[in-house]
Amino acid sequence: MTATTATLRLEPAGRCCWDEPVRIVVRGLAPGQPVTLRASLRDEKGALFRAHARYCADAGGELDLTRAPALGGSFAGLEPMGLLWALEPEKPFWRFLKRDVQTPFAVELEVLDGHDPEARRLLGRAVHERDFLPPGVRREPVRAGRVRATLFLPPGPGPFPGIIDLFGVGGGLMEYRASLLAGHGFATLALAYYDFEDLPKEFDIINMDYFEEALCYMLQHSQVKGPGIGLLGISLGADICLSMASFLKNVSATVSINGSGFSGNKTICYKETCIPPLGHDLRRIKIAFSGIPDIVDIRNDTVGGCENPSMIPIEKAQGPILFIVGQDDHNWRSELYAQIVSERLQAHGRETPQIISYPGTGHYIEPPYFPLCPASLHKLLDKPVIWGGEPRAHSKAQVDAWEQILTFFCTHLGGTWKEASPKL
């Protein structure tokens, strides 16, 4: 006998933030009934993402994803959040992004009878809304001098510890990480630096003056608690953060997510000092087994190791540095670069940085439960490239890295962060 209807129950029942876990329970099934759970969402550009997994109800006709292992599908094993992190785009090379943090993503969840992919009967459905603007967080567009950004302020009177958040070569203004960070008590500035409004469409030189202006904006803001600011960046954004920490005053803590510690393709300048780019050779592009270009080795060799002239003078950095590293990063060899930075710091009598390396983890280490982006369009090459990562390992790394980042900033900026929800 099989049930003809089932109830999907979610905890928390209402909306929750994207970086929070949700418990999915199905009730009203027959004992041991085989079912398939399906998740889908459309991003703001209409691109469809889907995941599914096969399960069996327990002896009481209940299916609790915190206790029941998936028997196959998009993932297998005990993965309470698998229906989110295993979402895959229908369109190839499409990266999962949140462009407008003021609206939630609506995840449609469906329970279907049986494991047969064809002619499944729908037993129940629910829509689960996941927010990027946590309750009480204030979003303030910033157009101050040359600075183009959005400031997210936590709920409450403040002042709050401040963070500047930077993304990579994609350009534009990405707000989703900053908005989620504000939900954990940090006044966070999502900072654009090119290809946004009246900022340059392209750039050849990374001029620290612009980033110094953004740092001054934060230090002078009445809602930002000094005496220093935290910096968080991924990819090129991480290298800009490492440069800011090395050249500018009042930086208290820096997190590099898959940064390199080198001036890669652009000269980095601050006042009279210029760091020449390491450069690259496109003839070193390999074609992966999938047929997609792999750019991991296109950069020129780091001749001279930690004394290479293209290295950011990280020994001048104020405050501690945390390196978050994906061991399977195919944008560049992040793990090797973090080791070279560590050698440079030690050679100059500085403290060894904290390096957390994650196996099976690719380039885009995002907030928790973001689906892995294994390959997508590279803006500078104008073709898809592989970014690395294995979905399950990458997902686990994102959850842990987020906690490590929050703890690091809390420790060094004096925040009052509390873990939002118990781990599932």
- Which residues are catalytic, by number? 235, 329, 363
Here the tokens at position 230 are 């935290």
Determine which helix (DSSP H) or strand (DSSP E) holds 19, and give its type and residue range: none
- β-partners of residue 255 are 232, 322
> How far is it, in rounded angstroms, from Cα 320 to Cα 241?
12
Alpha carbon distance 20, 403 (integer Å): 11
Of 203, 242, 216, 202, the closest CA to residue 146 belongs to 216
Return the H-helix or E-strand segment holding 337: helix 334-347
- Measured between alpha carbons, how far is 31 from 342 in angstroms, rounded to an integer? 56
Q: Measured between alpha carbons, how far is 126 from 107 in angstroms, rounded to an integer?
A: 8
CB distance 22 to 10 below 8 Å: yes
Distance CA 267, CA 261 (A): 13
- The Cα-based distances of 397 to 115, 120, 122, 363, 371 in angstroms read 30, 34, 34, 11, 12
Chain-centre distance for alpha carbon 330: 16
The whole-angstrom separation of Cα 98 and Cα 383 is 22
Say which amino acid occupies 104.
P
Q: Helices 236-247 and 208-220 meet at what angle, rounded to 10?
A: 70
Distance CA 66, CA 26 (A): 11
- Burial of 346 from C-beta contacts in 10 A (0-12 / 13-18 / 19+): middle
How far apart (Å, rounded) are the C-alpha atoms in residues 93 and 29?
A: 38
Give every CB contact of residue 138 below 8 A, 6+ residues apart in sequence: 152, 153, 155
CA–CA separation, 320 and 355 (whole Å): 11
Asked if residues 133 and 122 have their Cβ atoms less than 8 Å apart, the reply is: no
* Listed residue (83, 84, 99) closest to 179, CA to CA: 99
